[in-house]
């Protein structure tokens, strides 16, 4: 068996948890035994952190696989997948580890399960170094559903750094196969909306300040568009701990969604949080791509699994995306090409990510 193990170097390219997420999800889907070495080798705390371990454990549980080396700090794991089954599964990082990253690793697998799944994901919903749950619901969900599947995401409780304590329930039914996507026309921005939130001990004034600062910043570039950013205080029974942040989403005439988001932290001025989110959004709008820099890499695994050719116009290719492409090609028969998009507008910096998908078929349906 060990002779057939696919060897993954977890320390190359982006060198982080993403390599684990892409490679273990594909290992599970394709029934490929895996060894990952040098996990997070270049990080300040190398090896598995709690959220990476939770991700590995949910994949193991989803397919009744065997995981060796699965402990905090481990820099090498071996994984032997079994058959993907549906049903209810729980993953708990027991920290502020991101529920959105747990969703990223589990979702491709449960799409090809034998029956519907319900994932109870616990940890941080609005945490640093990961998409916020609002991004997952407002941007990732409507776009990824273009691959021809749907899922339901119920935010039971929000959780913040450092304790976590959030919970999200994801329900989805399996599909026979994924359709390719074609996201190459950006269109014009038709509306900008968002939410600025506070939870726990923080006053609503902070949310209002974040929202106002973001609007002022966007107004400088985009003058004639209505911008609606709701300031909200999360109800106490729906949030654990104290946190704040903002997400601003632009919608275009062709149905593209691009966003900018930021989190508050102690000692960080609320205006600065709002401006940061607005500047990220404006940067994403400037490059002319149909997806923002956070969504790029999250689409790669679905493009690789889909049946047919997918094309996505994006801004400059992030290291996360290059890494996802590298491991998707290593593990599947998918072929990716990235070409500079020939634009009339010289201020744009866009690329076409094209993928001939492997055409994964659900053997259970």
Question: How many Cβ atoms from other residues are within 10 Å of residue 53's Cβ?
Answer: 23
- Catalytic site residue from 89, 120, 320, 326: 320
How far from the centroid of its chain's Cα atoms is residue 28's Cα? 19
Burial 68-78 (b: 16+ CB within 10 A, else e): ebbeeebbebb
The verdict on whether 287 is a catalytic residue reads no
How far from the centroid of its chain's Cα atoms is residue 107's Cα? 10
Does an H or E element contain 233, and which?
strand 227-233
> Going by DSSP bridges, is the β-strand pair 66-68/77-80 parallel, antiparallel, or unpaired?
antiparallel
Alpha-carbon distances, residue 27 vs 78, 273, 337 (angstroms): 11, 39, 23
> Going by DSSP bridges, is the β-strand pair 87-92/117-123 parallel, antiparallel, or unpaired?
parallel
In DSSP notation, 28-81 reads: HHHT--EEEESTTTTSSS-S--HHHHHHHHHHHHHTT-EEES-STT-S-EEEE-
Cis peptide before 162 (omega within 30 of 0): yes
Scan for tokens 């053997």, then name that residue. Answer: 363
Question: How many Cβ atoms from other residues are within 10 Å of residue 116's Cβ?
Answer: 13
Query: Cβ(127)–Cβ(97) under 8 Å?
Result: yes
Torsion of CA 314, 315, 317, 321, to 10 degrees: -50
Query: Cβ(276)–Cβ(306) under 8 Å?
Result: no
**238 assigned to a ligand binding site:** no
Alpha-carbon distances, residue 70 vs 53, 54, 77, 196, 363 (angstroms): 6, 9, 6, 38, 29
Scan for tokens 């004639």, then name that residue. Answer: 224
CA separation for the pair 179, 172 (Å, rounded): 17
Catalytic residues: 320
Binding residues: 104
Binding residues for ATP: 104
């Amino acid at each position: 068996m060990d002779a057939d193990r696919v060897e993954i170097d977890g320390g190359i390219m982006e060198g982080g948890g993403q390599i684990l997420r892409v490679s273990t999800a594909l290992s599970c889907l394709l029934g490929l035994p895996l060894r990952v070495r040098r996990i997070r080798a270049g990080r300040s705390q190398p090896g598995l952190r709690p959220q990476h371990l939770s991700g590995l454990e949910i994949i193991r549980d989803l397919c009744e696989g065997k995981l060796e080396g699965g402990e905090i700090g481990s820099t090498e794991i071996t994984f032997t997948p079994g058959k993907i089954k549906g049903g209810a599964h729980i993953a708990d990082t027991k920290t502020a580890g991101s529920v959105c990253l747990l969703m990223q690793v589990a979702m491709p697998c449960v799409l090809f399960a034998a029956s519907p799944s319900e994932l109870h994901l616990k940890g941080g919903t609005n945490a640093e170094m990961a998409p916020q749950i609002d991004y997952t619901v407002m941007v990732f969900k409507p776009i990824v559903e273009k691959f021809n599947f749907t899922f339901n995401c119920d935010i039971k409780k929000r959780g913040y750094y450092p304790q976590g304590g959030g919970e999200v329930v994801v329900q989805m039914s399996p599909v026979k196969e994924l359709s390719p996507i074609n996201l190459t026309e950006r269109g014009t921005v038709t509306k900008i909306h968002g939410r600025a939130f506070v939870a726990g001990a923080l006053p609503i004034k902070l949310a209002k300040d974040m929202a106002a600062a973001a609007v002022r910043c966007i107004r400088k570039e985009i003058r004639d568009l209505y911008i609606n950013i709701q300031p909200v205080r999360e109800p106490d029974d729906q949030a654990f701990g104290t946190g704040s942040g903002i997400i601003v989403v632009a919608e275009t005439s062709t149905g593209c969604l691009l966003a900018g988001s930021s989190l508050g932290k102690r000692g960080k001025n609320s205006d600065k949080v709002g401006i940061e989110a607005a500047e990220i959004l404006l940067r994403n709008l400037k490059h002319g791509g149909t997806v923002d820099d956070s969504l790029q890499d999250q689409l790669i695994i679905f493009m690789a699994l889909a049946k047919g050719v997918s094309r996505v116009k994006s801004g400059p290719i992030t290291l996360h995306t290059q890494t996802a492409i590298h491991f998707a090609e290593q593990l599947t028969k998918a072929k990716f090409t990235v070409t500079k998009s020939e634009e009339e507008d010289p201020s744009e910096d866009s690329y076409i990510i094209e993928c001939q998908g492997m055409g994964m078929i659900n053997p259970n349906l």
